[in-house]
Amino acid sequence: MKESEAGSRKPEAAGDAPEPMVRVGFTRDFLTPDGRVALGDIGIGLLDAAPGVAWAFLPERTAELRPDQIAGYDALALLGPKVTEATLAGADRLAVLARYGVGYDTVDLDACTRHGVMLTITPDGTRRPMGTAILTFLLALAHRLLEKDRLTRTGGWGRKTEFMGTGLTGRTLGIIGFGNIGQEAFRLAAPLEMRHLAYDPYAKPDTAAAANVELVDLDRLLRESDFVAIACALTPETFHLLNAERLALMKPSACLISTARGPIVDQSALTAALQTGAIAGAALDVFEREPVDPDDPILGLDNVILAPHALCWTDEWITRTGASALGGILEVAAGRVPPNVVNRDVLDSPLLRAKLERLARSGPGAGR
C-alpha cells in the first residue's frame, strides 16, 4: 500500500485459528478528512514487513482519546490527541504510546506509569528538522524577509531602504534549552560566526564548552542576546517562563523565536512588547492556544512571522520520526524495552512487565 492511502493490515488466518497478532493503532489525525495519509511516509512499511503485526487507523478523530478507542491495541502511534487518566482506564493491553515528536505535554505521564504504559518520543527524528526551523526563523528575521516580500507585492519597491536587515556576524544568539534541539541549532548556526549563549539548569558545562557555547543565567541571556530562541520542554517550571518582566529585559533591537511550546511565553505580554516596540520582532511556530484564534491581535502585527506548529514538518522529519516511533513499537512487539522512553519509572511496573512477557511469547518471531 502507498503511504498516501489510508487502510489497515488485518490479522491473517492460519488454518482455522488466527495467527497471534500484535495490534498497532494510529490516531486519526494522521489522515486528511477524505482518508489519505496526510504527512507522507509515516513508516507503515516497517509494520507491513514485520510478521505477526496488524495495524489500523482509529475510526474517529477526537481531541482526547477515549478508553474504547484504544481498547484492543498493544501499541498506539500518537500525533496530536490528549491522553489522560480517563483515556487509560482499563488499558490492560496497551504497552506503549509512541509519540511522533518530542513534546509530550498532551500526555498524562503519571497516568501512563500507573497503568503500565511506556511513552516514547523521537528525538533522533526531530533534532535536525527543528534545528533548521530555528535557523529558518533566524535568517528570515535578520533579513526582514516577510516585510520585503510584502513590499514587493504591494508596490512598495521604492521603500526598500527603510527595511535594512541585521548582519549576524558577531551578533549574539541565545537559546533557552541546551538539549538535542538547542545543540543542533547551535551547530547549524556555527558558520554564521555569532556568539552563542545558552540557559539550561540541567546542561553539562563540559558539553557546552566543547560546542563553544557559554552557559549563563536566563536574565543575562535575555539582556545580551540579539536573537533569543526557545528550545526547552513545557513543564510547570517553564510555563510563562518568558513573562512581561523577562521580555522587558530584552534589547529593543532583539527578536524572539518560539518553536517549542506556546505556553512557555506569555503571549499577551509578547503581543504588547511587539506592539510598543519593546522588542523588534518575533517568529512563532507555536501559540498559547492552538489553533490560534483568528481574532488574536498577534495575527495583525507586521513585525512577527507566524507558522501553524508545523515549520519542521518536512519529508525528512516524517521519515525519520516514523522510523524512530515505529521501530520502537516493533521492539515492544518483541517484548523488549524500546529507546527513548520518557517515563523511565514505568520499567519497574509489574503491569508493564506482564505486558512485555505476553508480547515476547506471542509477538513477531515467537515460536519460530
The pLDDT of residue 296 is: 98
The pLDDT of residue 79 is: 96
Domain 8-121+314-362: give its CATH superfamily.
NAD(P)-binding Rossmann-like Domain (3.40.50.720)
Domain boundaries for CATH 3.40.50.720 within the chain: 8-121+314-362, 126-306
- If you search the block for the grid coordinates 523577562, which residue do you land on? 246
The pLDDT of residue 6 is: 55
| Strand ranges across the sheet with 8-9 | 8-9, 53-57, 22-26, 75-78, 96-99, 118-120
The pLDDT of residue 13 is: 35
Q: Which residues are catalytic?
A: 261, 290, 309
In this structure, are residues 217 and 197 in contact, taking their beta carbons and an 8 Å threshold? Answer: no
Whole-model pTM: value is 0.88
Give the distance from CA 25 to its chain's centroid.
20
Going by the DSSP 8-state scheme, the letter that residue 131 receives in this structure is: H
Domain 126-306: give its CATH superfamily.
NAD(P)-binding Rossmann-like Domain (3.40.50.720)
Structure confidence by residue, pLDDT tens digits, 236-281 = 999 999 999 999 999 999 999 999 999 999 999 999 999 999 999 9
Q: Which of 232, 224, 133, 211 lies closest to 173 in space, CA to CA? A: 224
The pLDDT of residue 266 is: 98
Task: Report CA-CA distances (Å) from 310 to 59, 180, 260, 276.
Answer: 24, 18, 11, 28
The pLDDT of residue 362 is: 81
| Ranges of the chain with pLDDT below 70 | 1-20, 363-368
